[in-house]
Structures are given as structure tokens and as C-alpha cells.
Amino acid sequence: MDSWFARRPVRDMRPGEHAGLAYATREERDHIVGAFVRYGLSAAHKVIYVSDAQAGELPGLDDIDPLPYLENGRLRLLGSARACLTGGVFDPDRLYGTLSSEITRAQAEGHRDIRVTLDSSWVLEQPGGFDRLLACERMFGEAFTPSTTVMAVCQIDAAACSREQLQALGEVHKVVAVPDPQFEDPVLRITPTFQPCGLLLDGEIDASRHAIFTEALWSVAQDEREVHLDLAQLRFIDLGGLRMLAEFAVGRAERGPLVLDHVPSQLRNVMEIVGWHLLPGLRLGEVA
């Protein structure tokens, strides 16, 4: 989705936000939706989850066992047939009705924070599915946005949509759900990226954050593809940090290259002066 929509790390979502998540990979979806659901369960919110998965199969919940939450009603898991199908066909009014009554019920139970999520990629496979989905999203938009209790993440497989469809879906969502940083302090923020697989580095890296940086690199080391680091917002990296990048690149050379995207020009110049032969294995990707 395009960048003029507010990008909201999932932990920062607030009631009244109706977020779109056009995911590029399953890992991205599981990472973001998992966090959205986890936060809700651990903060005693009500979570309404439209999915045909079994509770035990819900992605990204890490060490949270959903079963006790199902039993005490904090987690409502609604199968798609019951939630939104009429005669096997996706029915926007039915979904809207289902969610409205679930929300009303949750409010009646005294819940002041209600989280809703569903993956509607399968709707696109039905004839006329996209138009009905869009109609449904518009209804949600009108219903959720003024709400002081409800927040939603609407998931869609980006690869199943055309550019125009993504654009249209983007317009009915006020915000875009993005991954939380895996590390953040006032000087450095590290956020996972999924397409391409890698990390987004924002801030400054020096010896005081080498251990954190190594840990972050390890979190993507096992991936069998290219690993990309987006350095557009990296304002400083020390020589030790550059050496760690080179060591990392050489260490995983057999799996795939380490690509540095959006390297700020002054950093690129400095790397040029230090000499690429001292920084083996690093490849420059997209230019800043």
C-alpha cells in the first residue's frame, strides 16, 4: 500500500483505527497479526478473530495458549461459514451483521477494548468477490472509525490483488499496520522487513549497540534468501559495525548475499574510501 497512509506499528494501534494489512508473505502476516492478537489477549481485551483455523493453529501467538481465552470468552473464533457466507458466497451484510452483534455483545460484557481481525484473501477467488469485499470494508470503515472501543486489522494477500485493487482497499483504511520494531531505544530502532526479507535500521549504531545489532542480524541469518538491510534512516554506523556486516555477509555467503539498500550517499562515500576489499561480501542494492 502507498506511503501516504499512516504507517502504524501494530503495538501503537488505538481504538477507532481500521488498519489494512496487505501482506507480501505469510511470515509478514503471521508476525503482525500474531502481535495484534497477542497484545489483545495479554491486555485482557476482547479479540474477535474470523478464521477457519483451529485455535491451536492461529499464527504468531508464540507462547500464548489460546484455549483458556476461548473458554473464558476473551477470544471469539468465528468460522467463515457462520460469520459471512450465504449459500457459499461471501455476504458483506452478513459479515457486518455478525461483527456488529459480536461487538455489541462484547460491549455489553463490559469490554472497552475490542480487537477484530480477519483474512479475506479467499473472497477474491469468488466471482465479484472484490467488489463485495470493498463494500464490506466501507461499512466497517464507517462503523469502526468513530468507535472508541474497536480496532481492526483487515488482512489481504497483496499478491492476490491488482494494483488498482490494492489502491482501492488502501483508501478505505485509515492506517496501514506495519511490524513493531524488534529493538527500540532513543538512539536506534530495528524493524523486521519481509519483502525483501531483512531489517530496517533507523538511528545510530556504535559499540554500545553492537550486541543488539548482532542479535538482530542473527534473527535473519537463517533465511535462505538474500537478506536486505534498509539503511535509508541509518544516520551513523561505526567501523566495528561495518566490519560486523562484512563478517555476517561472508558467514552466510552460501545462503545468499547481504544487500544494503538506500545507503546514504555520505556513508557510501566513506565505504568507498575504506575500500570494498576490506568489506567483502557486501552488495549495494537500491540506491538512496
* Pick 81 or 207: Cβ nearer other proteins: 207
Residue choice 167, 266, 283, 286 for contact with other proteins (CB under 8 A): 266
Q: Does 257 bind other proteins (CB under 8 A)?
A: no
**102: nearest Cα among 128, 70, 76:** 76
- The three grid cell numbers given for residue 116, joined into one nine-digit string: 477484530
Q: Does 269 bind other proteins (CB under 8 A)?
A: yes
Region near other proteins per CB under 8 A, out of 87-95, 127-135, 176-184, 260-268: 260-268
Shortest Å distance, C-beta 238 to other proteins: 5
Q: Does 221 bind other proteins (CB under 8 A)?
A: no
Q: Does 184 bind other proteins (CB under 8 A)?
A: no
Region near other proteins per CB under 8 A, out of 5-13, 59-67, 162-170, 265-273: 265-273
Residue choice 6, 44, 232, 274 for contact with other proteins (CB under 8 A): 274
* Pick 204 or 223: Cβ nearer other proteins: 204
Q: Does 207 bind other proteins (CB under 8 A)?
A: yes
Within 10 Å of residue 9's Cβ, how many Cβ atoms? 16
* Pick 53 or 232: Cβ nearer other proteins: 232
**78: nearest Cα among 35, 47, 112:** 47
Q: How far is CA 34 from the centre of its chain?
A: 9
Cα separation of the two ends of the chain: 20
* Interatomic CA distance for residues 26 and 48, integer angstroms: 20
Binding residues vs other proteins (CB under 8 A): 187, 204, 206-208, 236, 238-240, 243, 246-247, 250, 265-267, 269-270, 273-275, 277-281
